[in-house]
């Protein structure tokens, strides 16, 4: 998506540890118009997939997942993060290691919101090592829902997540694919 790539080049900054900071349009201040265009694009890509719900993880996934859900005309569910402890019978839970925060959190979705006849689309802001997506796939498995695909706003293709999803056979659509952040410069996959 050219508009998104242009914005990454203009406003993104590369931090140590291969982290791309995009907090002026995605991760803190949100460009609502751009989010709407992102949602429209994901909805166009997945419109034939009979999706019943869009699923993401709080908090940075919510903005693009919400606009996607609006364009698909389905509800959005965001998995909630909490400290591992409370094992509750009415939640589907998975453990996720955070790439940027370097801590493990549990993520959960209330059992009331997923049923075996659901066909979900997973949306997230970034794909790095794929831990967040993996956690959502575990929850999908527990809930016995089918996964129509995964939509990522910014994929760091040089990290493990891309290959992991490719191996799973699940459809992956990333709107911007970054080949490298070396020397503080963003290089996109051709």
Binding site residue list? 20, 27, 128-132, 156
By CB under 6 A, residue 78 contacts ligand 5GP: no
Q: Does 129 bind ligand 5GP (CB under 6 A)?
A: yes
Shortest distance in whole angstroms from residue 65 CB to ligand 5GP: 11
Other CB atoms within a 10 A radius of the CB of residue 2 amount to 8
What minimum distance in Å lies between the beta carbon of 155 and ligand 5GP? 9
Which residues, 6 or more positions from 117, have their beta carbon under 8 angstroms from its beta carbon? 52
Q: Are 54 and 121 in contact (CB under 8 A)?
A: yes
Q: Quickly list DSSP for 65-132.
A: HHHHHHHHT--EEEEEEE-S----TTEEEEEEE-TTT--EEEEEEEGGG--TT-EEEEEEEEESSSHH
CA atoms within 13 A on the CB side of 95: 8
Q: Which of 67, 68, 105, 131 binds ligand 5GP (CB under 6 A)?
A: 131
CA dist., res. 93 & res. 10, Å (int) = 38
The residue among 50 and 97 lying less far from ligand 5GP, judged by its C-beta, is 97
Of residues 155-184, which lie at the interface with ligand 5GP (CB under 6 A)? 156, 161
As a whole number of angstroms, the distance between CA 101 and CA 172 comes to 25
27 binds ligand 5GP (CB under 6 A): yes
Stretch that binds ligand 5GP, among 16-24, 63-71, 86-94, 140-148 (CB under 6 A): 16-24
Considering only residues 92 through 111, tell me which ones interact with ligand 5GP, judged by CB under 6 A.
99-100
Q: Does 125 bind ligand 5GP (CB under 6 A)?
A: yes
At its nearest, how many Å lie between ligand 5GP and the CB of residue 91? 20
Q: Is 51 a residue that touches ligand 5GP (CB under 6 A)? A: no
Q: Per CB under 6 A, does 151 bind ligand 5GP?
A: no
> Which SS3 state, helix, strand or coil, does residue 12 take?
coil
- Which chain residues interact with ligand 5GP by CB under 6 A? 19-22, 27, 60, 99-100, 124-132, 156, 161
């Amino acid at each position: 998506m050219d508009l998104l790539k242009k914005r990454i080049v203009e406003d993104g900054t590369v931090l140590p540890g291969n982290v791309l900071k995009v907090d002026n349009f995605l991760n803190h201040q949100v460009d609502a118009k751009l989010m709407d265009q992102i949602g429209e694009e994901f909805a166009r890509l997945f419109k034939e997939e009979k999706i019943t719900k869009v699923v993401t993880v709080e908090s940075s996934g919510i903005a693009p997942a919400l606009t996607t859900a609006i364009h698909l005309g389905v509800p959005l569910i965001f998995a909630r993060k909490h400290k591992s402890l409370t094992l509750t019978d009415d939640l589907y839970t998975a453990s996720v290691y955070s790439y940027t925060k370097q801590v493990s959190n549990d993520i959960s979705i209330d059992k009331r919101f997923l049923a075996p006849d659901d066909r979900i689309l997973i949306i997230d802001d970034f794909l790095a090592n794929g831990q967040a997506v993996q956690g959502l796939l575990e929850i999908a498995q527990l809930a016995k829902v089918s996964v129509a695909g995964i939509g990522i706003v910014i994929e760091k293709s040089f990290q493990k997540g891309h290959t992991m999803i490719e191996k799973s056979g699940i459809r992956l659509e990333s709107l911007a694919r970054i080949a490298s952040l070396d020397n503080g410069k963003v290089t996109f996959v051709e």
